[in-house]
Amino acid sequence: MPHPNEYKALAGDAQRGALGEIELIDEEGNARRFGHLLTLEHNNASYLALTADPEVNSPDSDEISVGFLRIVPQPDGSDVYKDDVPEPVVEELFAKLNELMDEPDDE
């Protein structure tokens, strides 16, 4: 797994509030907030790239944690998010996320 220091640029975005916030409900009905970095397409599947609750990330830290959830479309049109992403896929998603974050803005 890549070292968290590789995500310093993301930490700055998170601290500036550039991330969208989402709330997910677990199987027991508990709500948790996450920062939504982006949605990635990889090997014919979709994944959410998330950070911990933006209020949990310390503004004094240059590091944030990033995790991935697999999006599983349901027959009724809703989505279920699974945390069963295998480690080799997580590493590929981190590499893809780094590539996207390294691209210059078109501003």
User: Looking at residue 8, what is its pLDDT?
Assistant: 43
Q: Where are the domains of the chain?
A: 4-102
Residue 31 is inside which H or E element, if any?
strand 31-42
**Residue 77 pLDDT > 60, yes or no?**
yes
Higher pLDDT, 72 or 4: 72
62 DSSP 8-state letter: S
Task: Bin 50: left if φ > 0, else alpha if -120 < ψ < 50, else beta.
Answer: beta
Is pTM, for the whole model, over 0.75? no
How many CB atoms within 10 Å of residue 79? 11
How many CB atoms within 10 Å of residue 24? 14
